[in-house]
């Protein structure tokens, strides 16, 4: 006999597990089905984010940053150490421990909130029947008044550079190298390529990133992208733009690459190749015939503004639907859908979802870029301020980068705030709050900012929109 739930969530990533917890908090009888198996072969909650995404990548970024600071940045403070070394095994072990702490944490949260975890691969059948195939091949069925699909995403594989998880790896592989590769090739100068490329570069790898597009970080404001590119170049990241890969052949312990760029045919030999060319919705095998749930041309579940699929009681959230593939976006959708199911108001404003790239310097933004404003014919004005003129940044020896504020030319309403610099992953939220409250550049300019802080760059950039920055010429 099948067990009935008010809510069955498919997927326990940051979209699904958050939806399940919120639904249970609201008094709904909730189950969460997840197929992920961790490094130890046991079910592990938390999806991509906790197992092979946000959390482990940030753990390695932090370890490698400490090492890089010790080897490159401490001398200016008068600190020196002779022959510092990095124990990659210990670094990976620390990362694994953090992953286990957090995936185990979700198990505890499910327990305390009375969410029933179900391990196995779920297929949605018509009538909100969820069939679950466990690792041992046994099949069980759950029925639900509401199903929330949170199936997440998987890495895109290139046909001529297939993952062998030894020499040609995806994000999971690049988070688990046993030692620092001498030569690391990365396909795709996107978020994963830059973050994981930075990790291994800081530990001594020669890192070459091959990017198909002619513009660097095309989704970011191009002033910010250019400033970031200058810093990455100084760090020795070799980023080759407008380069189209045609071959990646494993020969012994090497990967031989062929690509074409503006100069013609090029070749490159690396020891490891990370392919990070984007992710696609993880919807394969998810839907049985006749559910009525539609997939778009990219395999994403089609939903409306409220994450409803158009089929009674079936919702979808996170990476497997439209919008940015970001953990916090999925979590907010999870909360909104659980609240809608419980008869409350629930909404996610995709226009104010912050983006962060955790390189050094960090890149962060919310809202429209200058390029988007131009393309959409929106009249705008901008103000920017460099960290080099911020006292705290100079005291920290973190002078790279700037803040740029874009406001509507007539109403002064904030359209976008863009940052590259130290700690901007934390600073961006001031702009998110201001934009959620429909604030103007004038609002940011009139808010008292503590001195000396990095956030003074936001204050000065907002003042600069009206050509009245205090600590630079306007």
Half-sphere exposure of 136 (CA within 13 A, CB side): 2
Closest approach, Cβ 68 to ligand FAD, in A, equals 19
Q: What is the DSSP string of 237-291?
A: -EEE-S-EEEEEEEETTEEEEEEEETTEEEEEEESEEEE-S-EEE--TTTB-TT-
Closest approach, Cβ 6 to ligand NAD, in A, equals 31
Closest approach, Cβ 115 to ligand NAD, in A, equals 26
117 phi, psi to nearest 5 deg: -80, 140
Task: List interacting residues with ligand NAD (CB under 6 A).
Answer: 158, 187-193, 195, 210-213, 245, 276-279, 324-326, 356-358
Question: Looking at 3-152, which runs of residues are DSSP E strands?
Answer: 3-10, 30-34, 116-119, 121-125, 129-133, 139-149
408 a catalytic residue: no
Would you say 191 or 400 has its CB closer to ligand FAD?
A: 191
Question: How many whole angstroms separate alpha carbon 370 and alpha carbon 383?
Answer: 11
Question: How many whole angstroms separate alpha carbon 146 and alpha carbon 325?
Answer: 24
CA 384 vs CA 95, 399, 401, 411, 457: distances in Å? 37, 14, 10, 19, 8
For the purposes of burial, counting CB atoms within 10 Å of the CB of 84, is it exposed (0-12), middle (13-18) or buried (19 or more)?
exposed
List the catalytic residue out of 4, 72, 77, 451: 451
Q: Are 317 and 330 in contact (CB under 8 A)?
A: yes
Question: How many whole angstroms separate alpha carbon 22 and alpha carbon 342?
Answer: 10
Chosen from ligand NAD, ligand FAD, none, partner binding at 354 (C-beta under 5 to 8 Å by type)? none
* C-alpha Rg value of the chain to the nearest Å: 24
Q: Which residue(s) pair with 380 in the sheet?
A: 408
Q: Which residue(s) pair with 133 in the sheet?
A: 121, 139
Closest approach, Cβ 245 to ligand NAD, in A, equals 5
Closest approach, Cβ 386 to ligand NAD, in A, equals 24
Question: What is the SS3 assignment for 323-339?
Answer: CCCCHHHHHHHHHHHHH
Would you say 188 or 421 has its CB closer to ligand FAD?
A: 188
Closest approach, Cβ 325 to ligand FAD, in A, equals 4
Closest approach, Cβ 369 to ligand NAD, in A, equals 15
Task: List interacting residues with ligand FAD (CB under 6 A).
Answer: 10-16, 33-36, 47-49, 53-54, 57, 121-122, 150-153, 171, 192, 282, 286, 318-319, 325-328, 330, 358
Would you say 31 or 191 has its CB closer to ligand NAD?
A: 191
Question: How many whole angstroms separate alpha carbon 266 and alpha carbon 333?
Answer: 44
Residues 6 or more apart whose Cβ sits within 8 Å of residue 363: 217, 220, 224, 225, 228, 355, 356, 357, 419, 420, 424
Q: Which residue(s) pair with 130 in the sheet?
A: 124, 142
Q: Are 13 and 61 in contact (CB under 8 A)?
A: no
Question: How many whole angstroms separate alpha carbon 40 and alpha carbon 53?
Answer: 17
Would you say 108 or 135 has its CB closer to ligand FAD?
A: 135
Chosen from ligand NAD, ligand FAD, none, partner binding at 12 (C-beta under 5 to 8 Å by type)? ligand FAD
Chosen from ligand FAD, ligand NAD, none, partner binding at 205 (C-beta under 5 to 8 Å by type)? none
How far, in whole angstroms, is CA 467 from its chain's centroid?
34
Closest approach, Cβ 240 to ligand FAD, in A, equals 21
Chosen from ligand NAD, ligand FAD, none, partner binding at 286 (C-beta under 5 to 8 Å by type)? ligand FAD
Question: How many whole angstroms separate alpha carbon 148 and alpha carbon 20?
Answer: 9
Would you say 361 or 383 has its CB closer to ligand FAD?
A: 361
Chosen from ligand NAD, ligand FAD, none, partner binding at 308 (C-beta under 5 to 8 Å by type)? none
Chosen from ligand FAD, ligand NAD, none, partner binding at 423 (C-beta under 5 to 8 Å by type)? none
Chosen from ligand FAD, ligand NAD, none, partner binding at 330 (C-beta under 5 to 8 Å by type)? ligand FAD
Chosen from ligand FAD, ligand NAD, none, partner binding at 151 (C-beta under 5 to 8 Å by type)? ligand FAD
Taking CB atoms, the residue at the shortest distance from ligand NAD is 190
Would you say 330 or 439 has its CB closer to ligand FAD?
A: 330
Active-site positions read 451
């Amino acid at each position: 006999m099948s067990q009935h739930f008010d809510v069955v969530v498919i997927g326990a990533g940051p979209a699904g597990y958050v939806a399940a917890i919120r639904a249970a908090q609201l008094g709904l009888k909730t189950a969460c089905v997840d197929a992920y198996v961790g490094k130890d072969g046991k079910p592990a909650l938390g999806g991509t984010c906790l197992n092979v995404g946000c959390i482990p990548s940030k753990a390695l970024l932090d370890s490698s940053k400490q090492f890089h600071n010790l080897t490159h940045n401490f001398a200016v403070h008068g600190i020196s150490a002779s022959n510092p070394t990095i124990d990659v095994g210990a670094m990976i072990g620390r990362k694994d421990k953090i992953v286990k702490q957090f995936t185990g944490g979700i198990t505890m949260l499910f327990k305390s909130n009375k969410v029933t975890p179900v391990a196995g691969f779920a297929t949605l059948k018509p009538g909100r029947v969820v069939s679950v195939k466990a690792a041992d091949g046994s099949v069980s069925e759950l029925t639900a008044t509401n199903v929330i699909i949170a199936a997440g995403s998987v890495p895109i594989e290139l046909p001529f550079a297939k993952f062998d998880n030894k020499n040609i790896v995806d994000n999971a592989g690049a988070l688990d190298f046993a030692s620092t590769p001498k030569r690391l090739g990365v396909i795709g100068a996107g978020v994963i390529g830059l973050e994981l490329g930075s990790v291994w570069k800081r530990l001594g790898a020669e890192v070459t990133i091959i990017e198909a597009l002619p513009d660097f970080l095309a989704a970011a404001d191009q002033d910010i992208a250019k400033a970031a590119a200058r810093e990455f170049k100084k760090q020795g990241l070799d980023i080759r733009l407008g380069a189209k890969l045609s071959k990646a052949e494993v020969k012994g312990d090497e990967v031989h690459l062929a690509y074409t760029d503006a100069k013609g045919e090029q070749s490159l030999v690396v020891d490891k190749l990370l392919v990070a060319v984007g992710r696609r919705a993880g919807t394969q095998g998810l839907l049985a015939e006749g559910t009525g749930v539609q997939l778009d041309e990219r395999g994403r579940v089609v939903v409306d503004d409220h994450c409803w699929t158009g089929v009674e009681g079936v919702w979808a959230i996170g990476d497997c639907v439209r919008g940015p593939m970001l953990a916090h976006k999925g979590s907010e959708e999870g909360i909104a859908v659980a609240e809608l199911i419980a008869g409350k108001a629930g909404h996610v404003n995709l226009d104010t979802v912050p983006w962060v790239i955790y390189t050094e310097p960090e890149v962060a933004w919310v809202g429209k870029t200058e390029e988007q404003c131009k393309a959409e014919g929106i009249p705008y004005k901008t103000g920017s301020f460099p960290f080099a003129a911020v006292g705290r940044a100079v005291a920290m020896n973190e002078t790279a980068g700037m803040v740029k504020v874009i406001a509507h030319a007539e109403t002064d309403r904030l359209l976008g705030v863009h940052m590259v610099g130290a700690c901007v992953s934390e600073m961006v939220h001031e702009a998110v709050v201001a934009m959620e409250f429909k604030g103007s550049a004038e609002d940011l300019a009139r808010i008292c900012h503590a001195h000396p802080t990095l956030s003074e760059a936001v204050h000065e950039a907002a003042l600069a929109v009206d050509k009245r920055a205090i600590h630079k010429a306007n």
